[in-house]
Amino acid sequence: MKKSPARFSRLVPVLVCLAALTIALRDSPMRAQDGAFKQPDPFAPAGGSDTTPGEPVILPPGVHNTPVPATPAPVSTPAPASTPAASPSPAASPAVVTPAPTGNTVVNANQRVQASKRGVCENHLSTEDFIALAKGVSWYYNWASSTGDTPPGNAPMEFIPMAWGRGGDAGGVAGYLGGHHPRAVLAINEPNLRGQAFMTPDATAAMFKQVKQAADIYKIPVIGPNMALGSGANDSIKARDPITGQQTTYTWFGPFVQAFQFYAQKTKTQTGSMGVHSYNGIGDLTFAVNKMYELTGRPVWVTEFAFWNAKSGQDEIQYLTQAVEFLENSPEVAGYAWFKERVDKNPKLSLLKESGKLTPLGQEYVKLPSHNAHVFYRVPGLLDAGKYVAKENMTLRDTTDFDGDFDMVSHGAGWVAYNIQVDAPGAYVLRVRVSGAPGQMDIVGNGRVLGSVHCTQSQWHMVGTSVSLPSGAQTIRIHCDGQIIHSIEFAPKPDLAMK
């Protein structure tokens, strides 16, 4: 059991430079009861009046639980003139579908699809927690090389091990990989930040090589190091930089990553995707991802993110929605994990309350769509507008209609695209539930306009048109100009009744 931290002072802005670029970075000191700043000691003995035996110790962003060894888990064709019949739905289709790792996945229009990128940082998840999260979250990690938290068979979530940055961690990962083959291994948690791995770039490269040697046996990629965005000089690692030749305080991750790459190349160790952490809002997150991608040329893993200083729970939900939309849509992101399942010191960040009960934030995290380009929705059926695969000049929001999850809002001329699977080719009625600016909305597929609908009022209403669809997997676009879409329904043409 670790010592619980005192009150937190969060994220003191620090100016740092990259060439001519000046950015505001974060600092993560703790404030003692006397008001003086002090740094957390993750190796401190047990103690502190606010620590309950068995309770996870929650540290501020950038200062996490030092991993405790866990008990290893057991091991274009024109459409025919004929009218299609409705495709029968499976009698007991699962509520949530896990997409296939390769190829396309076809699901019913009303099914929820697990997001393959989406993960969660955790100290403990119960069976009920896994069931609640698995409706949208596909992986988890705990800053350690093994876990005693395992999901039940009806809640498929993958554990990804981490070599946190202590002696023996590479061996721990090697032992875990002997009986498990996860999609990736995480390596070295925040080597640039005091209280975490806190390793120089050359030491980081040396440990990374050890972890990679263990993972290469099974052809599993290693993601690392996983970097704090930046911190104040007193909390940042110092070393002689091999590129500049100067003693350097690495107050942000860019120069550290370049030095790490230098030492890895020197030992002929191939590096790949790296991780980054963000806690300061959407601008902070997009900067971190874009800069890490620029440095590595490989898809980034955001292995911790949250908005620590959001003013309210609703602001946190708004941030989470913006962040997940960015992360899901960005080809520069391979995976991401929310910090974390429960945050007692900052409850608005928690995804869960008591066992198996999602907070409003957790509900949003689970239900947000994944926009997977390889998932196709079977028609006939009713498709929530948020299940798009691509968009231009449109944004997702929580619905203002009486049911459903999300709306798509156009900001001037734009479009939104949906993947559909047509089992029975022929004529369909396409109905769109819409509101907003009056005007024409064109339905485009196979490079041509299939039909048009007309928004006639600012309140929610249903509009429709007849379209001909060939069989097979295909993508349609709905072009908008100031309209808001709530849902799209495909019905066999004989069913002409408008809702």
**What pLDDT, in 10s, does the model give residues 124-139?**
999 999 999 999 999 9
Amino acid at 355: S
Average pLDDT across the chain, whole number: 84
> Mean of the pLDDT values across residues 153-166?
96
Asked if residue 67 has pLDDT above 50, the reply is no
CA dist 491 and 464 (Å) reads: 10
Give 97's pLDDT tier (boundaries 50, 70, 90).
confident
CA distances from 233 to 42, 192, 226, 248, 424 (A): 20, 11, 19, 10, 64
Asked if residue 311 has pLDDT above 60, the reply is yes
Q: Identify the CA nearest to 96 among candidates 117, 112, 115, 118.
A: 112
- Is the domain covering 375-492 a CATH 3.40.50.10540 domain? no
Asked if residues 488 and 444 have their Cβ atoms less than 8 Å apart, the reply is no
Give 95's pLDDT tier (boundaries 50, 70, 90).
low
Can you give the pLDDT at residue 330?
A: 96
Q: Which residues share a beta bridge with 17?
A: 22
CA distances from 195 to 61, 172, 259, 463 (A): 11, 21, 21, 58
Can you give the pLDDT at residue 72?
A: 31
Can you give the pLDDT at residue 494?
A: 66
Query: Could you tell me the maximum CA-CA distance found in the chain, to the nearest angstrom?
Result: 81
Q: Identify the CA nearest to 498 among candidates 465, 470, 468.
A: 465
Q: How many other C-beta atoms can be found within 10 angstroms of the C-beta atom of residue 466? A: 12
Asked if residue 86 has pLDDT above 50, the reply is no
Asked if residues 497 and 447 have their Cβ atoms less than 8 Å apart, the reply is no
Whole-number percent of the chain with pLDDT over 90: 77
> Could you check whether the bond before residue 391 is cis, i.e. omega within 30 degrees of 0?
no
Q: Domain coordinates of the chain in residue numbers?
A: 96-367, 375-492
Fold of 96-367: TIM Barrel (3.20.20)
Give 102's pLDDT tier (boundaries 50, 70, 90).
confident
pLDDT digits (tens, 9 = 90+) for 232-264: 999 999 999 999 999 999 999 999 999 999 999
Phi, psi of 232 (to 5 degrees): -65, 160
Placement of tokens 């790490």 in the chain: 260
Can you give the pLDDT at residue 75?
A: 29
* Fold agreement (96-367, 375-492): no
pTM of the model: 0.81
Asked if residue 105 has pLDDT above 90, the reply is yes
Cβ contacts of residue 210 below 8 Å, gap of 6+?
A: 163, 170
Phi, psi of 279 (to 5 degrees): -135, 10
CA dist 263 and 256 (Å) reads: 11
Long-range contacts of residues 140-143, Cβ cutoff 8 Å, at least 24 apart: 140/337, 141/186, 141/303, 141/337, 142/67, 142/70, 143/64, 143/65, 143/66, 143/67, 143/189
